Structure 1
Amino acid sequence: MNKILLLLFVTSVCFSQSDGVKMISDKIKSSEQTRFDSIAKSLNYKGGDQIKVTVLFTINDNGDIMDIMARSVHPEFEKEAIRVVSELPKMVPAEYNGKRISQKYTLPLVFEIETEKEKAKRLRKEKKQEESQKK
């Protein structure tokens, strides 16, 4: 699997709606890797390390994400997880008896810090994409 992003593995998040399971990891932007790596490295983590963050939030009856809280080993990782989740687009709210309702969710995130080799590979790929878009 491509480690472009914070390598978010959504291990057990499901939207408990009648229409099935919906994963949200693909909705988080892939351009956040460098930002997260710099935070992690400033806290003496190295490439390949993984940091677990548990994020709790509510999706209200309009599909807005609110009441975001996070738990982790360091407040900086909590802030970053809250920032990332707060930038998610509007969601489909849960339904009960045909009515939209607010629903609380727990999202376990695993942030993986890129190694230098992975970073170089990602940057080469991004450069190729930029060049192909210019043409």
Structure 2
Amino acid sequence: MEQKKNPKADLNRNRGLFFITGLVLVMALAYIALEWKTYETTTYDTVGLNVADDLWEEVPFMEFKTPPPPPPPAPVIPDEITIEEDDADITETLIDTTELDPEEEVKYEDLDVVEIEEPDEIPFIAVENVPIFPGCEKVNDKKACFEGMIAKHIQKNFQYPELEKEMGIQGRVSVIFVIQKDGSIGNVRMRGPNKNLEKEAARIIDKLPKMTPGKQRGRAVKVPFSIPITFVLQ
């Protein structure tokens, strides 16, 4: 028996139509994907907007000058010149001379002399004659010698506190002291990261010898001096 095929059940009949439809759909999706645009939302920091503009417009400099004073008036010339007789009484104007008579004694009035008081304390960098460390008397550059001898003194008397050494405490102690008018050391002040390090710095400064005091205009003055003492574990 011969089998008959229903033309409506033929799957290959509309294959070309399906192919074209699918191709058009794919191209449309590709076009949409390429043309699709997204916009990123950006937040601006108001602090960044307060930056001053570096581009300044150059403004021509305008100089204002005070106008010169008016010229003095011209002398008045009389219209007529009168000639007086020799025996006529003429009043003459006498002009006193400003020259001094060498034989006349000049009297000076008492003047109030105001003495400028020098400050009682002059910084080390500004004092005329810096304090003299023992051993620097014959050195020309006494300032450099003073600083060098201070550094040697600190190195010689330096001792690291045992407790801080075991705990690994390090730091720098800023020390300031005053060479008094008699050459002694006083008014020692310090600031550091640890009390024991400050005490050790004070002990070193207290061992400084008596010095020749600094002088300003030939007068002994107090001279403050500052130096850092650094505590570093090797």
TM-score range with shorter-chain normalisation?
0.5 to 0.7
Look up the equivalent residue of 1:81 and give its one-letter code: A
1:68 to 184, 188, 196: 188
Match of 1:25 in 2: 151
Question: Whole-Å Cα distance in 2 between the matches of residues 29 and 91 of structure 1?
Answer: 19
Match of 2:171 in 1: 51
**Consecutive aligned runs of 4 or more in structure 1 exceeding 4 Å deviation:** none
Structure exhibiting the larger radius of gyration computed from Cα positions: 2
Unpaired segments ≥5 residues, structure 2: 1-122, 130-141
Question: Whole-Å Cα distance in 1 between the matches of residues 219 and 209 of structure 2?
Answer: 21
Match of 2:117 in 1: none
Kept in 2: contact 1:61–1:102 (CA 8 A): yes
Q: Which has the higher helix share?
A: 1
- Secondary structure of residue in 2 paired with 1:28: helix
Higher relative contact order (CA 8 A, sep 6+): 1
Q: CA RMSD in A?
A: 2.3
Question: Whole-Å Cα distance in 2 between the matches of residues 39 and 95 of structure 1?
Answer: 42
Q: Which has the higher strand share?
A: 1
Match of 1:95 in 2: 215
Unpaired segments ≥5 residues, structure 1: 1-13, 116-135
TM-score (norm 1): 0.60
The count of residues paired between Structure 1 and Structure 2 equals 95
Residues 39 and 62 of structure 1, relative CA distance in 2, 3 Å threshold: farther
1:83 aligns with 2:207: no
